[in-house]
Structure 1
Amino acid sequence: PMMNADIVTGVSMCLLFVAFFSGWGSFASWFNTLGLFRLPTHLTMGFGTLLIAHITFNIPYVILSVGPKLRQMDRNLVDAAMDLGCTWMQAFWKVIIPEIKPGIVSGALTAFTMSIDDFVISYFTAGSSSSTLAMTIYGMTKKKVTPEINAISTLLFVTVLVLLAVINIREARQERKLAAEQRR
């Protein structure tokens, strides 16, 4: 997703889903003759294909955020936790996750931002039953700019502004707290 254009990803995913759905009917019919349980014989593009497409194109962004945190982490921490009596799962939740949490949060925010922003991939993979915010705004602007579009834009702008202010205030408080502790 970082190297190729959104249009290439969108059309490729659309063609993949169309090819899969065309072969699905015969497979589902064959499977239904086995009598285990019934599969639907007709699939259409909708929320499921939209979700799969967004997960697919956001995975590299998350990997690029979490990967460096995993490489940066001391491998002996898990062994130390297990030597102190943790099971592997406890070590995972109490040692690994807190160590890579900044990468997880960064990757989640990047993926969320990319999903909210993406129009092209959503347009090709959503079908007629689903819509994202970008697709809704695009549909609203086809005729003319209405007050609803202005309201949505204002809400998005204010939300981003508030989030940036909260983050900056929080970082400033942490820096002041750290400076006060260092003076003691």
Structure 2
Amino acid sequence: MRRPRLMYVPFWMTYVFLYTPIVVLVVMSFNSDDSPYTFGGFSLKWYGELASDANVREGLINTLIVAVGSTVLATALGTLLAVGLARHSRSRLLDAISVMPAVLPDLVLGIGLLVFYATIKATLGLYSVVLAHTVFGMAFVTAVVRTRLANSDTSLEEASRDLGATPFTTFFRITLPQLAPGIVAGALLAFTLSIDEFVIASFTAAPLEPTLPIVIYSMVRFGVTPEINALATLLLAVSFTVVIAAQRMTRLTESLS
């Protein structure tokens, strides 16, 4: 039975509503005019302005340091947590606790981490942001790896142990290769979330070491400029690329199951 074409109208209207602002932002990033609201012609000058902006460069470097560091930690800890929950300590309570940082409001998590740092009298810096991003990045890595573990074949692990392999040998030679697509997908998600995260970083970063989202916020307070549009376009490109890669890895995980 052929569906009426009018049924697709709400579907396409939703996409238009969601993506029209993004398209406008990308187009205006190539604006030759100084005004962010009128298009005066095609130009790449605002991308050149970004390259010469010291604050943007510093924020980008800090963001990459935080994103790479937190991704490494979150991937390692999240993978171990997922394996532990799936293989050694099956508990719905522990499962809920493992994903709690992903569902808690960023404001609550940021305030909690700030209070924790103040309690242990730790000074704020890039390391404090790395640890903060690791906390919520672990939740996403754990969830993705758990999905892979739930559909993995345990017979190979059992055969490895029956043949005399140690638990470490079984983990590194059998379990870890099976989990590789899920681990990569979780790492890509953690990296993307860390790059775009603002609220938690604003509570846990040092004033003299801002991440790129904090730099963008400080620029937007004085008004939106084509330079901000160009910076947002670059962040969108990175985010879309990493998210698509993570989605492909997730599908690969499901196809191998």
State which of 104, 107, 123 in structure 2 corresponds to 1:7: 107
> Matches of residues 30-69 of structure 1 in structure 2 within 5 Å?
43-69=122-148
CA contact (8 A) 2:144 2:183 kept: yes
Query: Which consecutive residues of structure 2, in runs of 5 or more, have no partner in the other structure?
Result: 1-100, 253-257
CA distance in 1, matches of 2:202, 2:242: 28
**Aligned twin of 1:25:** none
Q: Which has the larger radius of gyration?
A: 1
Name the aligned partner's letter for residue 7 of structure 1: L
Normalized against structure 1, the TM-score is what? 0.68
State which of 174, 189, 192 in structure 2 corresponds to 1:110: 189
Name the aligned partner's letter for residue 144 of structure 1: G
Q: Deviations for 1:31-83, whole angstroms, at most 9, x for unmatched residues? A: xxxxxxxxxxxx41111111111111221111111112223222221232455
- List structure 1 runs of 4+ shifted beyond 4 angstroms: 82-88, 160-170
CA contact (8 A) 1:50 1:125 kept: yes
Tell me the number of residue pairs that the alignment of Structure 1 and Structure 2 aligns.
150
Distance 1:12 1:73, change over 3 A: same
> Matches of residues 94-109 of structure 1 in structure 2 within 5 Å?
94-109=173-188
Matched, 1:121 2:221: no
Shift in Å, 1:146: 3.1
Matched, 1:156 2:235: yes
Distance 1:98 1:47, change over 3 A: same
Q: Higher relative CO (CA 8 A, sep ≥ 6), structure 1 or 2?
A: 2
CA contact (8 A) 1:78 1:91 kept: yes
Distance 1:11 1:153, change over 3 A: same
Q: Deviations for 1:78-126, whole angstroms, at most 9, x for unmatched residues? A: 2324556765444323321121112212211221122122111110011
Distance 1:128 1:18, change over 3 A: same
Name the aligned partner's letter for residue 134 of structure 1: P
Distance 1:106 1:99, change over 3 A: same
CA distance in 2, matches of 1:117, 1:130: 16
**Aligned twin of 2:118:** 18
User: RMSD value over aligned CA atoms?
Assistant: 2.9
Query: Which consecutive residues of structure 1, in runs of 5 or more, have no partner in the other structure?
Result: 22-42, 175-184
Name the aligned partner's letter for residue 100 of structure 1: L
CA contact (8 A) 1:47 1:129 kept: no
Percent identical among aligned pairs is 37
